[in-house]
Amino acid sequence: MLHIYPVLKKLYGARVSFNDPWLKPAFALLDVADAVARSFSHAPPMPPFSIRVRTNGVQGEFGGRKFMASAQQLLQRLPPEVALDGARILDLGCSCGRLAHALRNRLGSGHYSGLDIDRVAIEWARGHLQAIDARFEFRVAEVYSDVYNAAATTRAASYVFPFADRTFDTIVAYSVFTHLLDDEVQNYLRNASRCLKPGGRFVFSCFVLDAAAGASFLAGASKLGATHVLSTERPRKATAFEAEFLERSLRQAGFGTVRYLPGDWRRANQQSGADQDLFVCGL
């Protein structure tokens, strides 16, 4: 299979990003080529290449295997006590519904709500998942991000999740806190605590800075308040937090049960939700 990322990088001569307007014509052509490649490999229905890369990045995504594999990895990381079958589930940072694809055969009579700041991805998910399956709904969160949604004015530190108290059995936030600052993380924890049913679980991934993280891609991170940032110009590009800050913030938000599952990102130098550190929290 053609390795698209190194080809684009060699021809383009810069870091490949779906946000770059100069690459939009190339992505349109790659959508066609990707659809042909998936038809020959009998891949299941999924978003087009230009939509998938908004979640998974460009590298390794041509043909769709990475999209489906990463969806299954996220699902498999959920521990047994996290309710899925028949549950009401909130997926924060859902993008085009990567986790939703993996949940279609696990949700049963439950209901899935996806929330994301990426309007393009949400509109695709509405038209291709929500439109054919009433168990799924997707909403746009007009929240500012210097990386993903610079035009928005509402700050994550003051944003209120658009759901009633005690609505969800399970709340998931894969690779969301890796793009938030400290006060924004604390606000999202309070929102999750408010929206979670008693006995429910909130699962989120992040980068926890400790001695083992010294040789990772965050080794040169700068500190802004309690947030360690990879870039001071675009601080939400990649963020990390010390364990003490996260533990204190979880207690202040009302979470009494917390389980910490270290990820493989230090060893593998990865940044996807499937490799990040995981917290499983209950009220």
Whether 280 contacts 256, CB under 8 Å? no
Q: Are 147 and 17 members of one domain?
A: no
Whether 173 contacts 253, CB under 8 Å? no
**Going by C-beta distance under 8 Å and a sequence separation of 6 or more, which residues neighbour residue 219?**
213
Lowest-pLDDT range, 8-12, 38-42, 224-228?
A: 8-12
Q: Are 20 and 158 members of one domain?
A: no
What pLDDT digit, counting tens, does each position of 192-202 carry? 999 999 999 99
Q: Which residues span the domain enclosing 11?
A: 4-63
Q: Are 206 and 266 members of one domain?
A: yes
Q: Are 58 and 85 members of one domain?
A: no
Residue 22 pLDDT class (50, 70, 90 cuts): low
Q: Are 57 and 112 members of one domain?
A: no
**Going by C-beta distance under 8 Å and a sequence separation of 6 or more, which residues neighbour residue 222?**
228, 229, 232
What pLDDT digit, counting tens, does each position of 147-177 carry? 889 999 999 999 999 999 999 999 999 999 9
What is the reported pTM?
0.89
Helix (H, G, I), strand (E, B) or coil at 280: strand
Q: What is the rounded distance in angstroms from the CA atom of residue 122 to the CA atom of residue 162?
A: 15
Domains contained in the chain, number: 2
DSSP state of 43: P
Cβ neighbours, 10 Å, residue 212: 11
Q: Give the residues across from 239 on adjacent strands.
A: 229
User: Which of 77, 103, 283, 82 is CA-nearest to residue 196?
Assistant: 283
Position with higher pLDDT, 29 vs 100: 100
Task: Evaluate if residue 62 carries a pLDDT over 90.
Answer: no
Q: What is the rounded distance in angstroms from the CA atom of residue 41 to the CA atom of residue 59?
A: 19
Q: Are 28 and 56 members of one domain?
A: yes
- The residue written with tokens 């299979």 in the block is 1
Task: Evaluate if residue 24 carries a pLDDT over 80.
Answer: no
Q: What is the rounded distance in angstroms from the CA atom of residue 22 to the CA atom of residue 25?
A: 7
Mean predicted lDDT score pLDDT of the chain: 87
Q: Are 123 and 210 members of one domain?
A: yes
Q: What is the rounded distance in angstroms from the CA atom of residue 156 to the CA atom of residue 153?
A: 10
Task: Output the pLDDT for position 226.
Answer: 97
Residue 11 pLDDT class (50, 70, 90 cuts): very low
- H or E segment to which residue 91 belongs: strand 88-92
Q: End of a domain among 16, 39, 63?
A: 63
Q: Are 57 and 73 members of one domain?
A: no
**Going by C-beta distance under 8 Å and a sequence separation of 6 or more, which residues neighbour residue 233?**
none
Query: What share of the chain has pLDDT > 70, as a percent?
Result: 88
Task: Output the pLDDT for position 214.
Answer: 65
Q: What is the rounded distance in angstroms from the CA atom of residue 149 to the CA atom of residue 179?
A: 12
- The residue written with tokens 């533990």 in the block is 247
| Terminal-to-terminal C-alpha distance of the chain | 47
Q: What is the rounded distance in angstroms from the CA atom of residue 48 to the CA atom of residue 42?
A: 15
Q: Which amino acid is at 163?
A: F
The pair of three-digit structure tokens given for residue 63, joined into one six-digit string = 């043909």
Residue 63 pLDDT class (50, 70, 90 cuts): confident
Q: Do you know the residue count of the chain?
A: 283
Q: Are 16 and 134 members of one domain?
A: no
Q: At what angle do helices 65-77 and 49-56 cross, to 10 degrees?
A: 40
For residue 226, how many C-alpha atoms fall within 13 Å in the half-sphere facing its CB? 18
Task: Output the pLDDT for position 250.
Answer: 98
Q: End of a domain among 63, 82, 97?
A: 63
